[in-house]
Chains A and B, each alone.
Chain A
Amino acid sequence: MNLKRFGAPAVIAMTAALALSSCAANEGGSTAPDASVSTLSGNLVGAGASSQDSAQQAWIAGFQTANPDVTIDYDPSGSGAGRDTFLEGASDFAGSDRAFKAEEVAAGGFKKCAADSSIVELPLYISPIAVIFNLDGIDSLDLEPAAIAGIFAGTITKWNDPAIAATNPDVTLPDLAITAVHRSDKSGTTGNFTDYLAAAAPDVWTSGAVEEWPLQGGEAAQGTSGVVDAVTNGTGTVGYADASRAGDLGTVSVKVGDAFVPYSPEAASAVVDASPFEEGRADGDLAIALDRNADDTNVYPIVLVSYLIGCQQYEDPANVEIVKSYFSYIASAEGQDVAAENAGSAPISDSLREKIQTAIDSIQ
């Protein structure tokens, strides 16, 4: 009786103990494939933009494989939270969809950095934002910036509106209501998209560049996945999302200069090269002032540029080597390709890589 009464819990406890003590098959046993074992060891914590997350996971995997004694954690808590955590010294580096503003940098107080060190801000993750839609049998539409702005501002409500038909003479547009899907959470994607609308169609889009959707109309969805799901499952829907997630949905070619440019990684990184760095910044601070109105027809202007942010001079020298080699890995052609493959980002150009590498070398 007693045995029976306590038998079952004992079995459960043993099973639980077994499950808990077992090790993950893909962990432990730091068996480096070749003799050139890296001597780096330690932990690095980063936090910030969720847009970078899949790229960060790919970079972390690549870097940890090459340096088995290093553990890097990236917490995609959001750009604002990432900047705050970095400011408070709770993380070693930050990922952010916007650079620190000049006055924020001037105010200083970065707790991980040495007393009067400035920071390095590296535009290492460039992601094209696609305008995606779900219409039966239509894969691509050519749209003027004003038409895109009109759709998302709610002034264009039908797919066969003249503003859409004018630029798409070869497409039979249905007489269907437009459901414009936007992000319900605050996001850098929204910030960059509205920044584009405000720059390219200032007459139609009057709400400026904001990270939180400013209008009450339209349909709201959480996160990139939410927008993609809503557009995919709805009818007559249109939304904006990371180009890598466009999948089978139709995408919009955007009017630049006098041609319509579909999104492509090359065109997206071209806009970064065509834009100047912000003035009045320290040497390692590569904040970019994106030029959304460039009329070079090789340029796809709706991109999100996400930064990696670290200290110019760390207070604790222990992590400097890891930060430098991690950032260098990300900036390398290999790192950028890994991100392109896993996250659909646009690899940075060689000229930008040179400038970034100089900045990384200045970290101490």
Chain B
Amino acid sequence: MTTTLTPPELRPAASPIANSLTAGKLPQGAPWMMLGASLLVAAGVFGVVAAGNGSEFNWVGTLVVGAILYIVAIWLFSRIVEGSRRATDRFVTALVTGAFVLAMIPLVSLAITVVTFGLARFDAEFFTSSMRNVTGEGGGALHAIVGTLLMTGTAALISIPIGLMTSIYLVEYGRGRLAQGITFLVDVMTGIPSIVAGLFAYALFAIFWGPGTRTGIAGAVALTVLMIPVVVRSSEEMLKLVPNELREAAYALGVPKWLTIVKVVLPTAIAGITTGIMLAIARVIGETAPLLIAAGFTQSMNYNLFEGRMSSLPVFVYTQYANQGNPPEAYLDRAWAAALTLILIVMALNLIARLVARFFAPKLGR
């Protein structure tokens, strides 16, 4: 396609348009038409190939080749009609959009997989039963849901204040050795592999309560270790983006520093900070390895963080997958349903956070 088109069309492009302001412009719908044409050509090529050797029509190939054709075509046409600067702009637009679509493929595939498999057991029994005395079919994940909420909640309660205050310290107060040291240590902490955090929490509680102790609080501590650096790093980044002019204006009005932080800096950055915190929660709520080691799992309900093993949703998913009994489908269905539940919980948390952010954030002009 490209080879047949380029030779005749390239010649006018040899004399580039000097002034881009007076240069021509592609009509409004041109990109869409070009996209459609590219896809059609690609579909035609693959259709001929498919008809030729009797194989199945290649959808993936059509889309990929169509997209590449479009990117080349829009660049060429725009370069001819609009000049090189706009051509680059169109080219990048196509690339950015392409990147987005490309990324959506695995994400959508994942979402579809989770939802279709997850819905099979997404019923009332799943949310009202534990796995106690359940073999084969039936049973549910209430114990794991409660465990996840309790442990992640506890971890968040500990790490959000510490993480937020640390980032405030680093951005607003910190200078000199201590601040440098803490920045350094937060970096080190980001590097703690999740499984090591689990080992640490396990060993820590084994000192107090004897070997083999697995409790919900140990799981929460492991999650806290993982969560604090994420909260610090993202909040720090967001606080740094608050313009200095805002702070200076507040000081000029005689507002104390702490009030400036609470009333001016934090609200300005709240949307970003909440996103960061949500990301931190989202990261730890799906952690499997540390919870498997530190909190273990059980088939029964457990509301007590300080005594007994506690299941959580990711660990539930993992154990249902790894230790399939008979029939295996029942175990897999429970695993997928639990994964779906976990994603829905995070979705709810995320929604709440967005509402909070919208509610507290100052009304800016954008």
Contacts and interface: CB of A to CB of B under 8 A. Distances in A.
Interface stretch (A17-25, A114-122, A267-275, A325-333): A17-25
A343 B145 CA distance: 26
A50 B323 CA distance: 7
Contact of A342 (B142, B326, B352): B326
Nearest to B301: A24
A329 to B, nearest CB: 14
Contacts of B128: 22, 24-25
Interface string A15-37: 01001101111110000000000
Interface string B316-331: 0001011111101000
A88 B211 CA distance: 7
Instruction: Determine chain A's interface SS by DSSP, over half rule.
Output: helix
A341 interface: yes
B323 A24 contact: no
B296 A75 contact: yes
A57 B131 CA distance: 10
Nearest to B124: A25
A247 interface: yes
A5 B355 CA distance: 11
Interface in A326-355: 338, 341-344
Contacts of A106: none
B352 A12 contact: yes
Contacts of B136: 342
B210 interface: yes
B326 A27 contact: no
Contacts of A91: 212
Given A88-B211, A338-B135, 20 more contacts: A12-B352, A19-B145, A24-B140, A24-B143, A24-B300, A26-B134, A26-B140, A47-B212, A50-B322, A50-B323, A53-B325, A57-B135, A61-B133, A61-B134, A64-B132, A75-B214, A76-B319, A90-B210, A245-B324, A343-B325
A225 B319 CA distance: 11
A5 to B, nearest CB: 7
Interface string A87-122: 010110000000000000000000000000000000
B115 interface: no
Nearest to B214: A75
A338 B143 CA distance: 25
B326 A23 contact: no
13 contacts: A24-B129, A24-B132, A47-B212, A50-B323, A57-B299, A61-B135, A71-B300, A76-B323, A85-B211, A225-B322, A225-B324, A342-B135, A343-B325
Interface residues of B, number: 41
Interface string B159-182: 000000000000000000000000
A54 interface: yes
B275 interface: no
Interface residues of A, number: 43
Given A54-B323, A54-B324, A57-B299, A26 B133 contact: yes
Contacts of A341: 326
B300 A58 contact: no
A357 interface: no
A73 interface: yes
B325 A58 contact: yes
Contacts of A338: 135
B298 interface: yes
Nearest to B145: A19
B128, B133, B328: residue with the most chain A Cβ atoms closer than 10 Å: B133
Contacts of A5: 359
A253 interface: no
Contacts of B132: 24, 26-27, 61, 64
Nearest to A50: B323
B139, B142, B149, B212: residue with the most chain A Cβ atoms closer than 10 Å: B212
A26 B129 contact: yes
Contact of B139 (A22, A26, A244): A26
